[in-house]
Amino acid sequence: MTIIQLEDLSDRLLRPYSGMTDGQLRRGEGFRRDNPQGLFIGESGRVIERALDAGVRPVSVLVEERWLEHDRAIIGRIEREWPDCRIFLASVSQFRELTGYEVVRGALACFERPLPLAVDDVLAGARRIAILEDVTNYANMGAIFRSAAALGMDGVLVTPACHDPYYRRCARVSMGAVFQVPWARIETADAIAESGRPSGSHDWAPALVPRLREAGFVTVAMALRDDSIGLRDPRLAAADKLAIVLGTEGDGLLDSTIEACDHTVLVPMAHQVDSLNVSVAAGIAFWELGSASQI
C-alpha cells in the first residue's frame, strides 16, 4: 500500500479538504480534469465504500493516523481499483490544522461528482418516489435519504433550494444512501419550462405534477389540512405509482404545491401534537406507502 506521509500542507491536492468552499467544490475549481461536474468530500469508511460501489471516482484520500487501521480495507480497495488516487496520512495535529475538524468518523476522500441524473432518469421504472421541497437542513436531508433507501423508495427528486445531498455531513448522516437511491434536482428545464418563470423559482409543482400524472403517478402532499386524508386511506394503497411530497422544516409545503397534488395526507398524531420533524414524517410515510411491506 502506497501511502504518502503528509509533510507539505500546501500541496494542491489538499485544497479540497481546507481551502475550498462548498460552492468551489461543486464547481471543481482547479480540479476539473476530464469531469466538469465538480467535487465532493466523503467522510467515513461506509460513505466512501458506497460511493465506490456506485462507481464514483476518488481523487485523493486523507486519513488521520489513528484511523489508518480502522479504514485499511477501504484504503486498500481504492489502491487496487483506482491506482492513480493519492492517499495522504496525517498526524492528529496536521489533520486538524488542515481541515479544522475536531471530530471525524474516519477517513476523508475527495471524489469527482458523478454526472447528474435528469428527472426522467429517476422516474423510469420507478413506482415510489419522494419529492423534497426546499429541505435545507443537512441532517434531515441525509436522514430522509437513509429512510428512502431502507423503506422501498425507488428515487428522490429535490427542488433547487434543497441542500446538496453530496455535502459531506449530509452524505455521512445518510450512511452513504445518497449513492444508493437515484436522485435528480428539479431544474428549471425539468420543472417549470412551460411556466416561463426564472431559474430557481420555488413554484415547481404546477409544471412538474402534470408530468408525473402523465407518467402514472398519484401525487400526495404531506401537510396538515382540513381535507387531509390518513396514510392508510385505501386510495393510496390502491395506487400503482406514488410520489410523496415533503416540505421544508417549519413552513412546510407551498400552497401551490398542495393545490397541484392529487391528495393531501397527514400522519395521525396523539396528545394534540400537530407536526413532526420532516425526516421522521418521511420515515413513517415511506414505511406505510413505500415497498417496506414487501421487505
pLDDT bracket for residue 167 (50, 70, 90): very high
- pLDDT tens, position by position, 98-111: 888 776 778 999 99
Give the architecture (CATH level 2) of 119-294: 3-Layer(aba) Sandwich (3.40)
Domain map of the chain by residue range?
Answer: 4-112, 119-294
When pLDDT is averaged across residues 71-89 and rounded to a whole number, the result is 94
Report pLDDT for 35: 58
From 2-6, 86-90, 216-220, the region with the lowest mean pLDDT: 2-6
Cβ contacts of 10 within 8 Å, gap of 6 or more: none
**CB count in 10 Å sphere of residue 182:** 18
Q: The domain 4-112: what is its CATH number?
A: 3.30.1330.30
Dist. CA 224–CA 165, nearest whole Å: 27
Cβ contacts of 94 within 8 Å, gap of 6 or more: 6, 9
- Residue 228 phi/psi, 5° resolution? -65, 145
**CB count in 10 Å sphere of residue 129:** 28
Q: How many helices (H) and strands (E) does the chain have?
A: 13, 12
CA dihedral 151, 156, 154, 140 (to 10 degrees): -10
Report pLDDT for 32: 58
Element at 15 (helix H, strand E): helix 15-18
User: Helix 72-81 and helix 45-53: axis angle, to 10°?
Assistant: 30
- pLDDT tens, position by position, 32-60: 555 578 999 999 999 999 999 999 999 99
Model confidence at 121: pLDDT above 60: yes
Helix (H, G, I), strand (E, B), or coil: what is residue 41? strand
Q: What is the pTM of this model?
A: 0.89
When pLDDT is averaged across residues 80-109 and rounded to a whole number, the result is 89
- pLDDT tens, position by position, 195-254: 444 444 467 998 899 999 999 999 999 988 778 888 888 999 889 999 999 998 777 899
Tell me the C-alpha to C-alpha distance, in Å, between residue 192 and each of 47, 150, 161, 186, 251. 33, 31, 14, 9, 22
- CA 245 to mean position of chain CA atoms: 15
The pLDDT mean for the chain works out to 87
DSSP-based helix, strand, coil % in the chain, nearest 5: 35, 20, 45
